[in-house]
Amino acid sequence: MPKTKRKSKAISPKTRWAIKAYVTQGYSANKIQKQLKKQGLGIQRKKLLSEVRKLKNQKPKANPQKYTPKKYRRRVTPKARKPVYSGKHIAVYRYATTWRYKKIAKKLEIPKTYSARFEFYGNGRELAQAVRLSLSGIVPRWEDPFVECHAKDFLSDPYKFGEKGFWVDKPNIES
Amino acid sequence: MINQISKADPILGITDRFTVKIDFDEIDFKTTKYWADLTLKKFKLGGYVMLKSSKKCYHVIFDSYVSWEENLSIIAWVSILSKNLSLLRYLAMQCIKMSSTLRVAPKGEKPSPRIVYRFGCQDHAIKDFLDFRQLIKRIHRHGKNKNKA
């Protein structure tokens, strides 16, 4: 069942007037609360104490959380974690080739491989996933062989940055 | 001209602009340590960690964060003075990419780079680098296991 927020009741003018009267008479907070209860004007003790302090021109209690038992302390929702990046990138590099490039290379009579490189940045999990994806056989396109991108962007659409192909060893050129 | 193509896993590395990372190739441990010490003293970089990536190949990571311009000037200073051609090539590659990268995962038969020497403070850039390296290694191990399954 979802928790509903408790509505905070404002102190009625009648109660406020009664409190003011009791404070001027020099009543203690306990006594005031008893008197109010008798008259059917009972209010929450926390509100009564803050009202009394206001009337006595006292400073609000410093660090009230300190005196509240842990189980009654207001729960603070943990802040959303900000992604932390060191300025470092993971470089995934080697020679690469694709079927499309092989055809072009054959036509133009140029080497069948090209030097390719991905540079990923992001948090650890995204980096790990991006590297694994690139290891599985996605290589940068030969038109844009040096790709620097956020690992998250690469994971969301890997074919925007590369295409299916192979990472290959340094070509042995025999003439 | 024949291209022999064989499938392989891609290499995983760490890329950023503000950590001073130097890739020494074809150089022995003592010379790498000498250049790392000299750079540390000259640019006041706090401390460094040396990783062996393969035979006669070392990576050096310094502890202080610097701007990209300063980063490039430090790598350029080392590469010019050490007369290391492969380091000059590395510098040129980083200039093209506008960020510097070091390998973390294995590459072919080469294992992932392992720490061989530490010196000075390790609390800032080195700590972040090693933490991120751990994450990449975990991702790589996990990805490999999944592929096997």
**What ipTM did this prediction achieve?**
0.87
- Residue B149 has a CB neighbour count (10 Å cut-off) of 5
- Dihedral sign, Cα of residue B91, residue B97, residue B100, residue B105: negative
Average pLDDT over residues A11-19: 90
Token pair 């060893």 is found at A169
Q: Is B4 on the interface with A (CB under 8 A)?
A: yes
Beta bridge partners of residue B92, listed in sequence order: none
Residue A82 Cα, gap to closest chain B Cα (Å): 19
Q: What is the pLDDT of residues A140-163, one digit of tens each?
A: 999 999 999 999 999 999 999 999
Residue B60 Cα, gap to closest chain A Cα (Å): 17
With CB atoms and an 8 Å threshold, state whether A173 touches B3.
Answer: yes
B4 vs A contacts (CB less than 8 Å): 171-172, 174
C-alpha count within 13 angstroms, C-beta hemisphere, residue A170: 3
Domain boundaries, chain A: 13-72, 90-168
B1 vs A contacts (CB less than 8 Å): 173-175
Its pTM surpasses 0.90: no
How far is residue B50's CA from residue B8's CA, in Å, rounded to a whole number?
27
Task: Give the per-residue pLDDT at A111.
Answer: 87
A92 vs B contacts (CB less than 8 Å): 10-12
With CB atoms and an 8 Å threshold, state whether B5 touches A93.
Answer: no
Q: Is B135 on the interface with A (CB under 8 A)?
A: yes
B8 vs A contacts (CB less than 8 Å): 94, 167-169
Collapsing DSSP states into helix, strand and coil, what is residue B56?
coil
Chain center to CA of A28: 47
Q: Is B72 on the interface with A (CB under 8 A)?
A: no
B19 vs A contacts (CB less than 8 Å): 88
Residue A79 Cα, gap to closest chain B Cα (Å): 25
Helix, strand, coil % in chain A, rounded to nearest 5: 40, 20, 40
Domain boundaries, chain B: 13-144
B109 vs A contacts (CB less than 8 Å): none
Collapsing DSSP states into helix, strand and coil, what is residue A95?
strand
Closest CB from B1, B10, B139 relative to A127 = B139
How far is residue A166's CA from residue A136's CA, in Å, rounded to a whole number?
9
Of the listed ranges A34-38, A87-91, A133-137, B140-144, the least confidently predicted one is B140-144
Residue B84 Cα, gap to closest chain A Cα (Å): 23
Residue A89 Cα, gap to closest chain B Cα (Å): 5
Of the listed ranges A30-34, A114-118, A143-147, B3-7, the least confidently predicted one is B3-7
The residues, ordered by sequence, that sit 6+ positions from A84 with a Cβ below 8 Å of its Cβ are A123
Task: Give the per-residue pLDDT at B1.
Answer: 47
Task: Give the per-residue pLDDT at B2.
Answer: 46
Asked whether the predicted pLDDT for residue B6 surpasses 80, the reply is no
- Dihedral sign, Cα of residue A88, residue A89, residue A90, residue A93: negative
Task: Give the per-residue pLDDT at A175.
Answer: 47
Asked whether the predicted pLDDT for residue A172 surpasses 90, the reply is no
In the 8-state DSSP scheme, what is residue B107? B
Q: Round the average pLDDT of chain A to a whole number and report it.
A: 85
